[in-house]
Structure 1
Amino acid sequence: MQEPIQNRKIIHVDMDAFYASVEQMDNPELRGKPVAVGGGENRGVVSAASYEARKFGVRSAISGYLAKKNCPDLIFVRPRFERYREISAKIHKIFYDYTDLVEPLSLDEAYLDVTVNKKGNPSATLIAQEIRKRIFDEVGLTASAGISMNKFVAKVASDFNKPNGQKTVNPDEIIDFLEVLPIRKFYGVGKVTTDKMYHLGIFTGKDLKEKSLEFLVKHFGKSGAFYYNVVRGIHNSAVKSERIAKSVGAEHTFDENLTSEVFMMERLESIAATLERRLKKHKIAGKTVTLKIKYSDFTVQTRSKTLIYFIADKSLILDTAKELLYQEKMKDSVRLLGLSLGNLNTEVKKTIVVQLKFDF
């Protein structure tokens, strides 16, 4: 088994309630109030929530109806993605002042490998403090950070002292840190997996560590090996300065539920056209077409087909989508449809990381 890489210094920077914080920054009247970015009507979905709103159970991905029910004073704001991208660009510019090994995960979070950095600073902890201060001084927003020797622990640590805080987990502290960590706080362990682990008697990192590799693979498949390694501090994935897209997609939530495949095909034609534009903009093609269906009860179903050749043309995507749509009967009315293309022709690039040993 591969030993953990002891000499990397990874920082995970995560903006605090990014979309909602931008809205509160730009509109002083919203400061200190519960704010949700997204649709407030019955069919709307919350994209982000301020910390004032989170106290009432308002969080991303829940319906606007439920959010308003949980927090009657909730203020809904329409998302302004151009503004978020503008702010994100300023934040990422700060990152690149310290290292070129920046791996963005989204507009509001990124990994930084500062093992060797442009400031010549041997302390990743001090670099994280400096970056967070610069973001606040130059952009006006707060950020949290996690610092450790690998991406997994850094990601978990960044959530530890949120908002506007940071936590460093030194190499000799990782095992103790993970053993007492509730399993629901492990990055990559979602609600469904958490419930499954609870039924198996796994509540903390220590419980997870006591399970054998064979046991975890039996119950969690490939993810079982991942869980077995990370709880032992083993996660050797390098920070990749260029993230290679694994799929490109487009989807749409409808004002009224669709009950007929004929109507769904009309909507899929528009979605396929959007997907085609995105593929051609980035000069990408793929082999695997996936149809996403969200029903009125919010359950999600996906159907996929892999072709023997790369495609990017709307008509070819639509032909496969039609086949997937009629593959089996709809179980209920549909509120959302999506199409994505995976198994892309993007060339995988390897990042060479120079590793030196310093104190954290």
Structure 2
Amino acid sequence: MKNLACGIAALACLASTASAITKVGESAELFITGDISARTDDNIFLTNGAEVDDTIFELSPGLQLTFGQGAQTKGSFKIAETFTRYLDNDSLDDELLSSVFNLSYDDAKLKLDLDASYRELSQSTRDIRGSTLVNRDVLDASADSEISISEKSSTGLGISWTDTDYDSSSYIDIEEITVPFNYYYAVSEKLDLSAGFRYRQTSLAISAGDSKDYYYNVGARIPVTEKFSGYFSVGYNERKPETGDKETGVGVEAEFQYVITAKTDLTLFLGNDYTTSAEGISQKTMTIAPTLRTKFSAQWEGSLGLTYQQLEYFSGRDDDYTDGRLGLAYLINDHAKITAAYNYRSNDSSLNGANFDNSIISLGAALRF
């Protein structure tokens, strides 16, 4: 950690005078990016008993292209390679590629957002645990649009696709396609009412286990105001598995942001939906996730977050999962940031051996020049 801190300080000095390495036309810039971090993890495999701890170092050099700042069409593309090294368990060392693209267009009558990403992952999660780390490739792509029909009404239509491929045969490759549609009507400058429908198809790389979801909902959204903004929907949610009985329940999706002071805001996400585990098992997932962010000064900022999930597997298993996060960041300038964080994860499960506790302390720096 001491050597890492010295390295971060040296890189921060370099970035303090940095700017984009080159201009590409009048509105595009190309940057070199780099993240460097170290973390201590007391349970890298998230096991219940016989925990394995380690110190992990990561270096992520990359490139980022941004374009269209201030224009109707704007976006960015970033690609990076993460080099991961374990101090004790060097058999887990890896190199992982990630890339992210986003494009947005807004001319007041039409809003369009396009996003795509590819990520190579090798880290234990609540769903993916065992005697070693499991590599997987995750592809995401989505398109969301909103078209104004009249002064007071608009429609939103989108589509998203996610494909997850696991290296281990213990987990099931999953492909998911989601198509939401919403109609919005402005009853005032500060409130839009909505009615919507969402269709989701989940396909598994096994002979059975596919499912289709139907979510009929009503809700509202509050455009950004001085203090409060957000949206919510609530309605009838149904999952129809390819085999077995259908499940129905109340669906919820909501996110609100409240500005407590000029420097502090609180975000709250609520969800109640059907999901599919890495083992290919359908589950009901209820999520509550508040996050508090504050700026102590122009350079110092902090965050405190909590995610609580209650999961009911169709197989009969029940889990209560908690993920708490505490973060601190020092912004040197627009090109350099130093971060420190503490993360605590805990799972309480009715399945024997699925309980775990995990603490992670990390220190890092993010650079762009």
Say whether the fold is shared (TM-score over 0.5). no
How does the TM-score come out when normalised to structure 1?
Answer: 0.23
Question: Comparing both chains, which one has the higher relative contact order based on Cα–Cα distances under 8 Å and sequence gaps of 6 or more?
Answer: 1
The structure carrying a bigger strand percent of its residues is 2
How does the TM-score come out when normalised to structure 2?
Answer: 0.23
